[in-house]
């Protein structure tokens, strides 16, 4: 375990007394974990992807609120930098496994916004032909092999193609996104242990948004998530999940490590999501207002946009154009979904397990 990013003074809630912090270093003081900074062009591309996710999630919220779509969805607005920072360090041929909070991972990996939206509308043109809905998005053509409702499913699943890659001499890396709640599942430890002992090319990315539904992480875990890496003898890195550049630099180092045969890494990204744990969450009263305010001040899209503007790499008008273009992409996806044919009942059971 190498690092814990020093957090700013106004994060007074940041280190609950419950947790012991034996190691506290900024990741950048450990150059082994800091791959070179991405270029401005790459950062602008990451900014566009984050804005696409934000716009997609904001519109999805409105669509569900209006009653046009029923059922549930788990929005990731606020967590964009983790998905985009990690996935931007991967190749198209690498694999990711997601959770129920999967739209950001899917869009970052290249799932078409049209097919993603159509899946939520239950259309044949959706990623899963409308059978899976929001929680079960998968698209093998871009390397999103699974996402789903079972908390703690992604770590063992990600070990599968990682083992395959190792056995066949391939160089594909496999990423498991998991929540802080999922860190408490036995499956996560079994997977990390196996990955460590077999030196699998897998990266475990814990999106620590501080809550598992209404349960604060500090009330169920005596240590911060990244410290669990100690138990498996693998590197554990805690970082600022609001800063896409930082996420990307650490992820790139973990990817190089995995591809080089050195085995797995656990990354803990401190982050936050704006909407409820799920679309129907009745109240957010259990949320800490100071935490909410802190993360809204450190919005990942705004952080990167302002940084690029401040150093002259992006103009305000170029940003406006980018935002307009993305708005059109999302509106087009919604129109596409609305006009697509509903999932056909005739062969509904053909792709389902029946016992």
Ligand X SMILES: Cc1ncc(C[n+]2csc(CCOP(=O)(O)OP(=O)(O)O)c2C)c(N)n1
Q: Find out whether 268 and 224 touch, Cβ atoms under 8 Å.
A: yes
Q: How far is the CB of 102 from ligand X (least distance, A)?
A: 10
Q: Which of residues 181-240 bind Mg ion (CB under 5 A)?
A: 181, 209, 211-212
Task: Establish if 180 lies at the interface with ligand X (CB under 6 A).
Answer: yes
- Residue 159 contacts ligand X per CB under 6 A: no
Segment 68 to 107, residues that bind ligand X, using CB under 6 A = 101
137 binds ligand X (CB under 6 A): no
How far is the C-alpha of 39 from the C-alpha of 36, rounded, in Å?
A: 9
**Distance (Å, whole) CA 265 – CA 229:** 8
Q: d(Cα 144, Cα 164) in Å, to the nearest integer?
A: 16
Q: What is the DSSP secondary structure assignment for residue 342, as one 8-state letter?
A: B
Signed CA dihedral, 227, 228, 232, 237: sign only: negative
Asked if residue 277 binds ligand X (CB under 6 A), the reply is yes
**Of 151, 150, 153, 147, residue with least CA distance to 133:** 147
Q: Tokens 């053909």 — which residue?
A: 350
DSSP 341: P
Residue nearest to Mg ion (CB): 179
Residue from 161, 179, 236, 264 that binds Mg ion (CB under 5 A)? 179
If one asks whether residue 241 binds ligand X (CB under 6 A), the answer comes out as no
DSSP, collapsed to helix, strand or coil, labels residue 155 as: helix
Closest to ligand X by CB, 157 or 172: 157
Q: How many CB atoms lie within 10 A of CB 304?
A: 25
Rounded to a whole number of angstroms, the minimum distance from the CB of residue 179 to Mg ion is 4
Under the criterion CB under 6 A, does residue 172 sit at the interface with ligand X?
Answer: no
Q: Is 179 in the site for ligand X (CB under 6 A)?
A: yes
How many chain residues are in contact with ligand X, going by CB under 6 A?
A: 14
The answer to whether the CB of 247 falls within 8 A of the CB of 239 is: yes
Q: Does 147 engage in binding with ligand X (CB under 6 A)?
A: no
* Shortest distance (Å) from residue 321 CB to ligand X: 32
Enumerate binding residues for ligand X (CB under 6 A).
101, 149-152, 179-182, 209, 211-213, 277
Enumerate binding residues for Mg ion (CB under 5 A).
179-181, 209, 211-212
């Amino acid at each position: 375990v190498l690092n814990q990013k020093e957090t700013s003074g106004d994060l007074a809630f940041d280190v609950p007394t419950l947790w012991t912090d034996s190691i506290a270093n900024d990741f950048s003081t450990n150059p082994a974990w800091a791959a070179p900074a991405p270029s401005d062009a790459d950062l602008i591309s990451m900014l566009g992807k984050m804005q696409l996710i934000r716009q997609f999630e904001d519109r999805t919220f409105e669509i569900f609120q209006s009653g046009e779509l029923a059922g549930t969805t788990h929005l990731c607005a606020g967590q964009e930098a983790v998905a985009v920072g990690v996935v931007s360090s991967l190749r198209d041929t690498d694999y990711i496994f997601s959770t129920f909070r999967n739209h950001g991972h899917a869009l970052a990996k290249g799932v078409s916004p049209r097919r993603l939206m159509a899946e939520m509308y239950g259309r044949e043109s959706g990623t899963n032909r409308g059978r899976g809905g929001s929680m079960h998005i998968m698209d093998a053509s871009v390397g999103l092999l699974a996402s789903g409702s079972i908390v703690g499913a992604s770590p063992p699943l990600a070990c599968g193609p990682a083992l395959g890659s190792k056995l066949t001499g391939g160089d594909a890396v496999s990423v498991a996104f998991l929540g802080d709640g999922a860190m408490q599942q036995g499956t996560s430890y079994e997977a990390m242990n196996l990955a460590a002992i077999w030196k699998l090319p897998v990266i475990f990315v814990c999106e620590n948004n501080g809550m598992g539904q209404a349960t604060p992480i500090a009330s169920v875990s005596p240590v911060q998530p990244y410290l669990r890496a100690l138990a498996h003898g693998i590197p554990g890195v805690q970082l600022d999940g609001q800063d896409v550049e930082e996420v990307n630099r650490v992820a790139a180092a973990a990817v190089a490590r995995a591809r080089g045969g050195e085995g797995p890494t656990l990354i803990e990204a401190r982050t936050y999501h704006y909407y409820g744990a799920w679309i129907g969450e009745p109240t957010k009263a259990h949320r800490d207002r100071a935490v909410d305010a802190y993360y809204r001040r450190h919005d990942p899209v705004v952080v990167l946009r302002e940084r690029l503007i401040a150093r002259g790499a992006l103009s305000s008008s170029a940003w406006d154009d980018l935002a307009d273009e993305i708005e059109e992409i999302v509106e087009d996806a919604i129109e596409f979904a609305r006009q697509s044919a509903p999932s056909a009942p005739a062969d509904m059971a053909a792709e389902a397990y029946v016992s």
